[in-house]
Structure 1
Amino acid sequence: MASFPDTIHFTGLNTPVRIEWNAHDLDVIGEIPREIDGAFFRAVPDPAYPPKFDDEIVLSGDGMISRFGIRDGKVDFAIRYVETARYKAEKAAGRSLFGKYRNPFTDDAEVQGIDGTVSNTTPVWHAGRLFMTKEDGLAYEIDPETLETIGRWDYHGALKSQTFTAHPRVDPATGEMFFFGYEAGGLCTPDVAYCIADKDGNLVSEQWFQQPYCSTIHDFAITGKYAVFPIFPTTADLDRLKAGGAHWAHQQELESWVGIMPRYGKVEEMRWFKGPKGVSAFHFVNAYDDGDLVHLDICLSDTNAFAFMREAGGIHRAQNELGGGLVRWTFNLASDEEGFESRVIGPPGDMPRLRDADQGRAYRAAWYLTINPQGGAPLPGGPVGAAFNAMLRIEPGNGRIDMMPLEPGLAISEPVHVPSSEPDHEGWLLAVIDRQLDAGRFASELWVVNAGDIAAGPVARVLIPVPMRAQIHGAWVSRERLAQARGRAAAA
């Protein structure tokens, strides 16, 4: 195509920006607490070239890695493309060469066999390295200072899986990273690789198992004792791909499943629990164990949240008609039953954030995004076509829910959490806010919010001179960890 399609995937907050830039000492309204010292990395899909087909989706956008560097109340910013094999091939050709979303049979012949991942979903920090990830391929390592792409990461050849999740989990006590790859053995295979990297970044375990059907496993969870793999009925089919069709199609009449195994055990110990038909979840707040019980808190909907995945399965429902909520699933490992308990603990929403220190443990509070019906029509854009306009703070233990509503014409992306040095302080949340100026024009800001008092709104706002394309996920890395990474690089 000579230009970008006039669809929701390329208009509104999804309007391509395609600018690599950096700036120093951005304007700040208010005062940024001095204890916020480090970098907020963001994954931003932004297509470098118009797509081959007019029905392309936002999730195919080339990955950009951006960084807000914060120190002494001042903020610098930089953003660059992740130079994947796909990006380099298209840059050399000056046009799009890859076809429909995750369908290599629609790619140009000249790029057959070239890694097609765009690395646009999640920045991941572990053992002094920064990675950009997307679950259809391996991660790419990024220089956290320059944002230059170092190269594809496979643990020096040790990792055999062809894919790496966008949602690994790092244990705050051991420093280990638990991760997985689905379609690990290739396109449409039910193979899942479950892996562990130690605190120094060495791959120490890789085990493969097969899921009940080839589904999109976007996220998983760990507890102190277990690894938890929810499986939802959005499935891949090789014949459909060969015919030029969609990679994913949601099957409303198919059961969901949850596999639970000891996190240091063998995949042969996996126990499968049968869940409700047709439900879907892409993100989980947390999981923890309590005796024989395992609790999993998930952002559940009654069907797939992505219209293109629903429609490929023959499901035609408007986005505002989807049902769901923040739901706690509880599994009794002492029981022989394959079912489990389910109860709603919060309103519908997504993009949850937890304190890193609470990963895999019972937790007091978490934060996630939602649609506030009092905030006017959601801004168009983002991964599912409608942006969030409120943030919630929830305490599952007592049911307390606080809200930070946005005024009409504003949208919020997933926050990151910054811990506080004060023992009774819940820390800070950083999130990009987009503001509609008029039809088709937007401005962006970085907000700093007291995590324990989100209803008070931002304590500081950082003005961004260039509008931002909608973010997917982000990560916070402290100045101390950045310094350790520089030391490791200097010693190498």
Structure 2
Amino acid sequence: MDRRHFLASSSIGLGALGLAPGAALADAATRASFHAALKRDSRLAVYADTQGELAGAATVRGRLPADLDGVFFRNGPGRFELGGERYHHWFDGDGMAQRWQIGGGKVSHCGSFVRTQKFTEESKAGRFLYSTYGTKIDRSPMKSNDTLNAANTNLLPFNGRLYALWEGGSATELDPATLATIGLKTWRDDLKSMPFSAHPKRDPDGSLWNFGALPGTDTLALYHIGAAGAVLAAGMVNIADLTMVHDFAVSAKHLIFLVPPYTFRNDASKSFLDQHVWVGSGAGARPMRVVVVDKATLTLRRVFELPPRMVFHFGNAFDDGATTRFDAVLHEGDVLGELGGIMRGERAPVPGRSSATQITLDYAAGTAREARLFGASEFPGVMPQVATRRHRRLALLSAGGAGGNGGRILNTVNLVDTDSGKADSYRFDAGWQVEEHVLVPRRNARSETDGYLVGVAQDSGRLQTVLTVFDAAHVKDGPVALARLPYRAPHCFHGNFLPS
């Protein structure tokens, strides 16, 4: 891969992230607004600032399955405030890695901030120095995209190592036992400082697929990393008008990307988020593009079009004869900036205008067809043993309408039958908010429900974080075990379960 060419072509995107002066800083008014709202609504504590490290034993209610033994790694933004200022967007916070040790009927937890260059320098300065996803700050210039690396989106155990991921820069290696920061990971010398997304996908052979994108470059970097950690292949694909791409899907033969209808308008006075302009409505509206890359050659195979929507997350993908089918949660309209209101104390508009959809790509006909699987939802996932193959169960979170949530808080766990559309669901009580849940198979699992649905929920009434364990065959019966911490840990985005 020609790293120099990629980084040179990335200058628009990198400059947009904070190189030039003239900006709206993180501010005290945002902080004051949030804390005033927090006094009225304890549910906002989910987005409150966290200080220091966390460690404690959980109190287990119910019965932890004897064969659920391992570590549940999670990651998400934890520091939103510094020097009397507060960030403008949820995605801006510094990453706090979390480790849930499960086994022998017991659960313990620890959380540690990732000591990135950004976190270390700003802690020393006592104030924010660098621009983030949704907050423009011009107090200190950046040298590369890793200057801004917040390491706040996913925590990936791979090849005996552990990586905190952020889509705009390098993976950051952590100690899997202590969560101590080891440093930036360079997969190969010519790939140093390249963007490495927060949603890598495992192949059945144990290898890892990933990509890196920076809007404004029209270039997508692709990676295939072997199970032993060596780079097997790397390449670049040109995609016109490339904007934010957060996730992708992988089948046995293809890498599949959805490019939402935004245009990137380079303006150094604005945040990275504010430079994305929605062009999916009105005169001249653009479609969402489905970009299919051949895994064998890392070259573009086909581009399809769908109605204009936004997408964050995918489920699974599989090749079916002359077609490829994959799951994605599609959102209506421009939703990129909506989560910014959380930082001011506004309730999150968790996707009421979305649906979990299975998309079929017909290569012979050149068409893309949609089939609705489930309504408003997010965080799709499947059992790891069916990755890249035909699957029939999809885990999703949704917002229940009762219990004072008003359909705006993710409080319901679902396992959806993709053939019938029927959902096995459990809704938590008022004041609870659920995070992503992942499917964990039993050893030698015989089906997609032969295992557990494991996740985390926030009990805002008691300001405590709770590990939740469901029997995947009986989700509606409620958790078989709840492991409650004596404190609140930051709300996480993504993570992975590593069996012992």
TM-score range, shorter chain: 0.7 to 0.9
Q: Who is 1:306 aligned against?
A: 336
Q: Is the 8 A contact 2:49 2:81 kept in 1?
A: no
Q: CA deviation at 1:411?
A: 1.2
- For 1:355 and 1:28, locate their aligned partners in 2 and report how far apart those are by CA, in whole Å: 25
* Ranges in structure 1 where 5+ consecutive residues have no aligned partner: 312-317, 380-385, 480-492
Q: In the TM superposition, what whole-angstrom CA distance separates every residue of 1:25-56 from its partner, at most 9, and x where no partner exists?
A: x2111111111111001112011643786561
Verify the 8 A CA contact 1:328 1:342 in the aligned structure 2.
Answer: yes
Determine if the alignment matches structure 1 residue 12 to structure 2 residue 33. no
Tell me which residue corresponds to 2:354: 324
Q: Secondary structure at the match of 1:12?
A: helix
* 1:223–1:360 CA contact under 8 A, matched in 2: yes
Instruction: Say yes or no: does 1:460 pair with 2:470.
Output: no
Counterpart of 1:488? none
The one-character-per-residue Cα deviations of 1:264-310 (angstroms, maximum 9, x if unpaired) are 1231x431112212x01100111111111100111111123333489
Q: Secondary structure at the match of 1:96?
A: coil
| Alpha-carbon shift at residue 428 of structure 1 (Å) | 0.9
Q: TM-score, normalised by structure 1?
A: 0.86
For the pair 1:262 / 2:294, whether they are aligned, the reply is yes
Residue-by-residue CA offset, 1:377-419 (whole Å, 9 max, x unaligned):
169xxxxxx5301011111123221111112221111012221
- TM-score w.r.t. length of structure 2: 0.84
Could you tell me which of 177, 189, 203 is aligned with 2:208?
A: 177
1:236 aligns with 2:270: no
CA distance in 2: counterparts of 1:161 and 1:205, whole angstroms = 17
Q: Give the direction of change, closer, same or farther, for the CA distance of 1:320–1:263 in structure 2 (3 Å limit).
A: closer
Amino acid paired to 1:399: G
Aligned to 1:487: none
Question: Match of 1:443?
Answer: 464
The secondary structure found in structure 1 opposite 2:245 is: coil
Where structure 2 has 5 or more consecutive residues not aligned to the other structure, the ranges are 1-26, 39-43, 342-347
Q: Distance in 2 between matches of 1:310 and 1:470?
A: 15
- Counterpart of 1:382? none
- Structure 2 vs 1, CA of residues 139 and 422 (structure 1 numbering), >3 Å: closer, same or farther? closer
Q: Which residue of 2 aligns with 1:426?
A: 450
SS at match of 2:198: coil
Aligned partners of 2:87 and 2:135 also within 8 Å: no
> Is this contact kept in 2: 1:250–1:309, CA < 8 A?
no
The letter of the residue matching 2:435 is S
Equivalence for 1:42: 74
CA deviations on 1:228-257 (whole Å, 9 max, x unpaired) are 11111234322x234567243332222210
Pick the aligned partner of 1:148 from 175, 180, 193: 180
CA distance in 2, matches of 1:448, 1:82: 27
Question: Match for 2:376 among 340, 344, 348?
Answer: 348
Which residue of structure 1 lines up, in the alignment, with residue 248 of structure 2? 220
Are the equivalent residues in 2 in contact too, given 1:378–1:409 (CA < 8 A)?
no
The 1-side partners of 2:406 and 2:489 are apart by 17
Q: Kindly indicate whether the alpha-carbon contact (under 8 Å) linking 1:233 and 1:280 is maintained by their aligned counterparts in 2.
A: yes
Report the counterpart of residue 359 of structure 1 in structure 2.
387
- Please tell me whether the aligned partners of residues 119 and 150 of structure 2 are also in contact (alpha carbons under 8 angstroms): yes
- Out of 302, 305, 313, which is 1:271 matched to? 302
1:482 maps to what in 2?
none
Shift of 1:5: 4.2
Which one of the candidate residues 432, 445, 453 is aligned to 1:410? 432
Letter of the aligned partner of 1:428 in structure 2? Y
Please say if 1:131 is aligned against 2:158: no
Whole-angstrom CA distance in 2 between matches of 1:207 and 1:416 = 30
Q: 1:195 aligns with which of 201, 212, 223?
A: 223
Q: 1:309 to 1:375 in 2, by over 3 A?
A: closer
State the percentage of identical aligned residues: 25
1:120 aligns with 2:126: no
Task: List, as ranges, runs of 4+ consecutive aligned residues in structure 1 with deviation greater than 6 Å.
Answer: none
Q: Judge conservation of contact 1:43–1:123 (CA < 8 Å) in 2.
A: yes
SS at 1:115 equivalent: helix
CA distance in 2, matches of 1:97, 1:5: 20
- How many Å apart are 1:452 and its aligned residue? 1.4
In structure 2, what is the Cα distance between the partners aligned to 1:83 and 1:174? 32
TM-aligned CA deviation for residue 202 of structure 1: 0.7
